[in-house]
Amino acid sequence: MKLTDFASHYPDEKSCRFAFKEFREKEGIKCKKCGNTHHYWKKKREQWECKNCGYRTTLKSGTIMQNSKLPFQYWFIAMHLLTSTEKTFSAKEVQRLLGHKRYEPIWAMLHKLRSVMGLRDNEYLLGEDVELDEGFFKTFLPIEINQNH
């Protein structure tokens, strides 16, 4: 997604919260207490309430954003920056771009995002053709050699 498209999709905190809520609902909310998957949305509190036991789940609960006080828009911008270019961004640079006063929360956010991205990479195996920096390479699968022949 181009930066201009990103800015028009997520122009403010409200749009980011709404998009994140929709994403979580699409994935499904599961009650931490009883395991139920049916919930009510409590608009004033911005929480889901379990229809079975009444336990409440916040937007960030159970996600990489849990316990973070940073705005959703910071998270969205950081995810976009980390995934839309071949280059990486330092925490100091992201802090500057966001205009945030403190370095530590920005560093922690980027650390969490990079950790999750690394875990996700481990789920994929290279196929027969691999593109790397605009070049294509052929991978060869290991062949068992039977030394009895």
pTM, 2 dp? 0.76
The answer to whether residues 110 and 91 touch, using CB atoms and an 8 Å cutoff, is: yes
Q: Is the pLDDT of residue 139 over 60?
A: no
Interaxial angle between packed helices 13-27 and 72-84, expressed in degrees from 0 to 180 and rounded to the nearest 10: 80
Q: Is the pLDDT of residue 123 over 70?
A: no
Domain boundaries, given as residue ranges, for the chain:
64-120
Q: Which of 17, 109, 13 is nearest to 58 (CA)?
A: 17
Q: State pLDDT tens for residues 7-50.
A: 999 999 999 999 999 999 999 999 999 999 999 999 999 999 99
Q: State pLDDT tens for residues 66-77.
A: 999 999 999 999
Query: What secondary structure does DSSP assign to 85-101, as a single string?
Result: SSS---HHHHHHHHT-S
Q: Is the pLDDT of residue 59 over 60?
A: yes
- 3-class SS at 29? coil
